Amino acid sequence: MPDFSIGYFNQSLVGTHEKDGVSKYYGVGKRFQGIEAGISIPLFLNRKEQGLEQQKSTSRFKRHRWMLSISVCSNVVQRCFPT
């Protein structure tokens, strides 16, 4: 399914900038504004494969979080009961 986006920007460029070979100072009051729009269309729609990759990633994240928890607990125990 395509993803649509639309945005607005308002920007200041304070300082001296060169445009067409001429240096010009732009102060805080000089604003540049614009809008942007976009559409993103996925090229690959193999949901089964995407789901499997997401499960692997989630599993890796949980395993790393578990290992970090064990490491933190080990450090706490070592601090509470020094050898």
Q: Does 37 lie in the same domain as 70?
A: no
Domain that residue 77 falls in:
44-83
Residue type, 58: T
Secondary structure letter of residue 48 according to DSSP? H
pLDDT in tens, 4-40: 989 888 887 788 888 888 998 888 877 778 888 898 8
Q: Does 54 lie in the same domain as 81?
A: yes
pLDDT of residue 83 exceeding 70, the answer is: no
CB 74 within 8 A of CB 45: no
Of residues 50 and 21, more confidently modeled: 21
Q: Does 49 lie in the same domain as 65?
A: yes
